[in-house]
Amino acid sequence: MVTSIILLKVKRKKVNEVAEQLADIPGVSEVYSVTGKYDLVVMIRVKTNDDLAELVTGNLVNVDGVKKTDTMLSFKAFSKHDLDSMFSM
């Protein structure tokens, strides 16, 4: 499983709307509206880097209201949970 975490700054009145649109995109596992200098944190869980590339530079860019993104690839996940089976990969 390829996991990526994206920090987003969003236009002020669009936080919830953008969150809902993002959460609908295949491969987007969770979207959190958060305190602090970012507005949303997006968890992406896909099979391959190409899926990730397509999602980030193809899909995600078409969601209006996003001002700034900082995309992080996860090297490795550490968890008590079996994330692969939980997120049925």
Which one of residues 47, 73, 84, 89 is an interface residue with its own copies (CB under 8 A)?
73
Q: Which of 54, 58, 72, 77 is nearest to 1 (CA)?
A: 77
Provide, rounded to whole angstroms, the least separation between the CB of residue 46 and its own copies.
12
- CB within 8 Å of 70: residues ≥ 6 apart: 6, 7, 8
Give the DSSP letter of residue 42: E
Contact residues toward its own copies (CB under 8 A) are 2-5, 7, 12-13, 15-16, 19-20, 22-24, 29-38, 41, 49, 52-53, 56-58, 61-62, 66, 69-81, 83, 86-87
